[in-house]
């Protein structure tokens, strides 16, 4: 860095020097070719300090141009895949991109993606002041205009509701049993989701304040008038048990019902057939489960789902399992048995099984060994010097 700057200085002096020479000597067209020192500096000098500049600003016309390009690109993609451009949905786009650019990366967010620019570019607020620099919104100088305006609106509604309540009381039509808003199965939006909605950063204290205000709104009678507004800030929770795929109940030639299911645990894969024959035999890989799992713990794992639903002696299990060790195989079989049981069991039982943890696949796998360490966590011997 120092050397290059020296060189730079020298070159400047040289240039001045050369200029001076030119001035002294009469200007001739053929200027003697003076050697030019190329300034070689590291490229780090030319890089702008991006962090100091602040987040990137996308102009509106830029975003619009991106949207146009996306639409055109979508049509091209549809033509390439031989499908109808008019009815080409986002799922089709994802499928096509995954087909055309297969990626082996584990992180899903690092894979190539083609989405609408609105999802890719972060939302930014438009310019909030006019040509003379006067802000549009009256709460601009609070610094968090959308947040405070939201609070303002909510308080307006509270006041309006109180006035309505007074009116009803005056008319004599006041009743405290009004329609209540159904709040079960939904939750308040999280702080991150509120930030996304308002396109502003808010602190934890602000978020708490907002939720308290909404709760106050909810506590009043006649809150059903503002139901639509409130539900905008509540998110529906999905019913977890509806996500489980229940395997179909099939029938043997002899009329015995059976179902087939799979299970996995830590590289062990198991696949079983559960038959409703009335005996309690369990065969794994052709051998009796007493021989295959001499350890009591593994047999207890097999027993757990059947014991939980109370159908111990009823079913015949015929299973095949491979991979990993005995404990993982027992876990894989347990998951497979629980899944197969879903088709023999009622809805309430399914929910209970889910809460007991029988239907959750255990995500734990062997942790990767890192370079510079002995194992996944163990470090090499630490030497002080």
Does residue number 234 form part of the binding site for another protein (CB under 8 A)?
no
CA-to-CA distance for 133 and 136, rounded, in angstroms? 9
Does residue number 290 form part of the binding site for another protein (CB under 8 A)?
yes
Closer residue to another protein, CB minimum distance, 147 or 289:
289
Q: How far is the CB of 300 from another protein (least distance, A)?
A: 5
- Total number of residues binding another protein (CB under 8 A)? 16
CA-to-CA distance for 11 and 39, rounded, in angstroms? 8
Q: How many CB atoms lie within 10 A of CB 61?
A: 8
Spell out, one character per residue from 90 to 129, where the chain touches another protein: x when CB under 8 A holds, - when not: ----------------------------------------
Among 300, 322, 347, 374, binds another protein (CB under 8 A): 300
Does residue number 280 form part of the binding site for another protein (CB under 8 A)?
yes
Using CB under 8 A, which residues numbered 303 to 332 contact another protein? Answer: 303-304, 306-307, 310, 312-313
Closer residue to another protein, CB minimum distance, 230 or 306:
306
- CA distances 271 to 55, 317, 358, Å, are 52, 10, 16
* CB 112, CB 99: distance < 8 Å: no
Give Cα 60 distance to the centre of its chain: 27
Stretch that binds another protein, among 150-158, 204-212, 280-288, 373-381 (CB under 8 A): 280-288
Closer residue to another protein, CB minimum distance, 121 or 308:
308
Among 266, 299, 352, 354, binds another protein (CB under 8 A): 299
CA-to-CA distance for 268 and 199, rounded, in angstroms? 46
Does residue number 287 form part of the binding site for another protein (CB under 8 A)?
yes
Q: How far is the CB of 144 from another protein (least distance, A)?
A: 53
**Dihedral pair phi/psi, residue 326, rounded to 5°:** -70, -35
The residue count for the chain: 385
CA-to-CA distance for 223 and 231, rounded, in angstroms? 12
Token look-up 């308080």 returns 155
Q: Strand, helix or coil at 46? A: coil
Closer residue to another protein, CB minimum distance, 206 or 305:
305
Helices 296-309 and 326-341 cross at an angle (nearest 10°) of: 10
Stretch that binds another protein, among 31-39, 62-70, 72-80, 285-293 (CB under 8 A): 285-293
Using CB under 8 A, list all residues that contact another protein.
Answer: 280, 287-291, 296, 299-300, 303-304, 306-307, 310, 312-313
């Amino acid at each position: 860095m120092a050397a290059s700057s020296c060189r730079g200085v020298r070159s400047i002096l040289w240039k001045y020097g050369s200029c001076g020479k030119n001035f002294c000597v009469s200007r001739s067209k053929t200027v003697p070719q003076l050697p030019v020192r190329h300034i070689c500096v590291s490229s780090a000098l030319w890089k702008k300090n991006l962090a100091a500049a602040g987040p990137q600003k996308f102009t509106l016309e830029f975003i619009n141009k991106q949207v146009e390009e996306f639409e055109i690109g979508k049509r091209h993609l549809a033509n390439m895949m031989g499908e109808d451009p008019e009815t080409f949905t986002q799922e089709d786009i994802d499928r096509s991109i995954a087909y055309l650019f297969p990626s082996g990366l584990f992180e899903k967010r690092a894979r190539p993606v083609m989405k609408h620019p609105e999802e890719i570019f972060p939302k930014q607020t438009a310019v909030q002041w006019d040509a003379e620099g006067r802000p549009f919104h009256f709460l601009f100088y609070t610094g968090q205009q959308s947040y405070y305006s939201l609070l303002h609106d909510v308080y307006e509604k509270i006041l309006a509701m109180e006035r309505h309540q007074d009116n009803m009381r005056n008319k004599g039509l006041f009743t405290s049993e009004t329609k209540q808003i159904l709040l079960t199965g939904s939750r308040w939006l999280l702080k991150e989701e509120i930030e996304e909605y308002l396109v502003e950063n808010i602190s934890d204290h602000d978020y708490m304040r907002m939720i308290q205000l909404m709760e106050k709104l909810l506590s009043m009678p006649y809150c059903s008038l503002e139901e639509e507004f409130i539900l905008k800030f509540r998110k529906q929770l999905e019913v977890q048990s509806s996500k489980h795929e229940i395997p179909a109940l099939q029938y043997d030639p002899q009329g015995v019902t059976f179902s087939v299911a799979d299970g996995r645990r830590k590289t062990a894969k198991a696949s079983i057939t559960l038959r409703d024959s009335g005996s309690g035999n369990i065969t794994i890989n052709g051998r009796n489960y007493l021989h295959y799992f001499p350890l009591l713990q593994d047999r207890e794992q097999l027993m757990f789902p059947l014991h939980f639903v109370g159908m111990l002696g009823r079913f015949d299990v015929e299973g095949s399992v491979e991979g990993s060790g005995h404990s993982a195989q027992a876990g894989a079989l347990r998951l497979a048995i629980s899944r197969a049981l879903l088709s023999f069991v009622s809805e309430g039982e399914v929910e209970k099984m889910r809460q007991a943890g029988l239907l959750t696949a255990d995500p734990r796998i062997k942790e990767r060994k890192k370079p510079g360490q002995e194992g996944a966590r163990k470090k090499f011997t630490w030497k002080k010097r």
